[in-house]
Chain A
């Protein structure tokens, strides 16, 4: 009994020490929201910054998640309602940079300076690859070439999957690895989530438009996660999605606006061409373009791929090397939503440990 009393006392005192601490979380996407709520549950005060007027980041633009087809709005709602009175959301506020001063940090926003911050969580996430850079695929040139993000928006508006002149597409093609695994655009990394997203979106096309054929053009199918392979199998077995192994060399437009794709069917070893009515480019995940500015005054390390480098990817995945600066989410590389949330909770633990250390 005495032991329990003692441990409660310790927890209480450590809570009140934590209460006096302030953490800034930069980025209010899934990582920032989850990290902030986990910190608040431990009695830590958080200021949560985002340049966007609303929290949620890219999740706001997504309709359904892989592999279980959970509604993004459901996840978003849970993330938002997890907020706590200890969290102050500063949305619509662009952080310019973080500076270190003595034993604390300053957050410089466009209009203000927030001093006396004890720890900073970088949760700045990713930006999508601008598909116009793969000019040979014709995004921004041919009207019926769209991106996976464009298609996801269409899914949230029933009846909107149409060609530019309003026809129901007979064929929809999906191009994997657009902006990923491609030295020509300077990105060697795999974006990890696009393969399963293409499979999910191809299934959704077949569900919403049963007379429309779906084709996936892939280099490898990277069904790395739990239930992903099963989703791929379901796409073949139940939805008759076609998979053609080969990377598109180019897309061209017919007079009627449909798209001719050219690819080597690498399994037959022969060139193949076909018409599709809508071509969907699976845009890859790049490190957020504004992350380098935010950390310009702190000694952090970037990997060759442009993502932030942790001090140890096995044991200190959320640590930056600068005490008090932590990473959460896709700023350290592509992740699914589930992985991002787990990473954010892990970051909150690293922050809490750090705050305990500096209090003692």
Chain B
């Protein structure tokens, strides 16, 4: 293909009217404590995977809430399910099950 020296950029905007919230609904059904997340970041701060990669549970939960699920499947596989985040979460979210349920829902959908 001819290289014209420019390309079309993907829109960065989150279009909340078009995004698909199926994954969120599925997770909420099986692990309702996801609703309690206040995006404080304690989970990501304590996360061992986060020390070496860009992995952040705070960000993953947020993207699920916004319906921005592209690329999440490989992202969530970085979790080693150690459960430190669950010990640290101030809202008592069952974070390990949230991760498992997100993973399951992503495979299902």
Contacts and interface: CB of A to CB of B under 8 A. Distances in A.
Contact of B66 (A237, A240, A272, A275): A272
Given A267-B62, A268-B63, A274-B17, A245 B12 contact: no
B14 interface: yes
Contacts of A242: 65
Contacts of B13: 270-273
Interface stretch (B1-9, B32-40, B81-89, B94-102): B32-40
Interface of B: 12-17, 32, 35-36, 38-39, 58-59, 62-63, 65-66, 68, 91
A236 interface: yes
Contact of A237 (B35, B59, B65): B35
A196 to B, nearest CB: 15
Nearest to A233: B36
B66 A268 contact: yes
Contact of A275 (B14, B17, B32): B17
Summarize A's interface: helix, strand, loop or mixed: strand
A52 interface: no
Contact of B16 (A233, A236, A243, A274): A274
A275 B39 CA distance: 24
Interface residues of A, number: 16
Interface string A259-273: 000000101101111
B11 to A, nearest CB: 9
B59 A236 contact: no
Contact of B14 (A236, A243, A245, A268): A268
Interface of A: 233, 236-237, 240, 242-243, 245, 265, 267-268, 270-275
Nearest to B61: A267
A250 B95 CA distance: 35
Contacts of A271: 12-14
12 contacts: A237-B35, A237-B36, A242-B65, A243-B38, A245-B39, A267-B59, A268-B59, A268-B66, A268-B68, A270-B12, A272-B13, A274-B15
Given A237-B32, A237-B36, A270-B14, 16 more contacts: A233-B36, A233-B91, A237-B35, A240-B35, A267-B39, A267-B58, A267-B59, A268-B66, A270-B13, A271-B12, A271-B13, A272-B14, A272-B15, A273-B16, A274-B16, A275-B17
A270 B35 CA distance: 21
A236 B62 CA distance: 14
Contacts of A267: 39, 58-59, 62
Contacts of B12: 270-271
A274 B15 CA distance: 6
Contacts of A233: 36, 91
Nearest to B15: A273
Contacts of A270: 12-14
